[in-house]
Amino acid sequence: MINLDTTLTGVGAKSRIDWLSKQFRKIDVQLVVRSTDYNRFQEKLLKGNAQLFYFGWNADYPDPENFLFLLYGPQGKVKTQGENAANYSSAEYDHLFEQMRTMDNGPARQAVIDRISQQLRHDAPWIWGFHPKDYALYHAWLFNRKPTKVGNNTLKYQRLDPALRERKRREWNQPAIWPAILIIALVLGGAAAAYVVYRRRS
């Protein structure tokens, strides 16, 4: 038996929990869902009274360290009220994390991150359940803009090319002068017809 502590509510949440319960039944494990409000849920995490739970994180900045610190032992939620809600503790992981966090980006740092990732796959303190993807269309003059589910502060990284924007705007937004020509032609045609009628009556 495994307890799932959750704050999920509503139709969408019921579908997700029903699916999860079905998956656990396939391996002969009973999933007990303990729904609660967010304050009670937080209290359970602070006391270490949650066995299985959903949790997430929005990146503050685009770097692996911004996610890997969530499993750093000294940040354990029960011991220090830190962000390590899983209370994962591994001397090897902590050593690698401390080494990685102060390194400059490059092959050496990436090698340490790869070792950290390998250890996390082995120890499995988390179950990575969601890998969302976004798709979007952007103008050619907008750079450093990619759809993402993990960051909500990406505006500061975006860059515009005003010259390209102006060139494309002029190319795409050619004035439609045919309505003006048509109106002038109709006015002139009407004036000519009126003049002909006037001359005939004179």
65: in domain: no
**Number of residues that make up the chain:** 202
CB 36 within 8 A of CB 64: no
97: in domain: no
The count of structural domains within the chain is 2
Looking at residue 130, its pLDDT comes to 64
How many C-alpha atoms does 66 have within 13 Å on its Cβ side? 10
Show which of 35, 54, 73 is a domain's final residue: 54
Dist CA 33 CA 21 (whole Å): 9
Dist CA 151 CA 186 (whole Å): 57
pTM of the model: 0.63
Mean per-residue pLDDT of the chain: 89
Residue-range definition of the domain harbouring residue 33: 1-54
Read off the amino acid at residue 57. W
Looking at residue 125, its pLDDT comes to 92
Under DSSP, is residue 6 helix (H, G, I), strand (E, B) or coil? strand
Cα distance from N-terminal residue to C-terminal residue, the chain: 107
Show which of 54, 72, 98 is a domain's final residue: 54
* H-run or E-run covering 35: strand 31-35
130: in domain: no
What are the φ and ψ backbone dihedral angles of 95, each rounded to 5 degrees?
-65, -45
pLDDT average, residue stretch 105-110: 96
161: in domain: yes
The answer to whether residue 108 scores a pLDDT higher than 90 is yes
190: in domain: yes
pLDDT in tens, 152-162: 778 888 999 99
Under DSSP, is residue 92 helix (H, G, I), strand (E, B) or coil? helix
pLDDT average, residue stretch 164-188: 92
pLDDT in tens, 2-61: 998 988 877 778 888 899 899 999 999 999 999 888 999 999 999 999 888 888 777 777
Dist CA 123 CA 179 (whole Å): 71
CB 36 within 8 A of CB 44: yes
Show which of 11, 29, 54 is a domain's final residue: 54
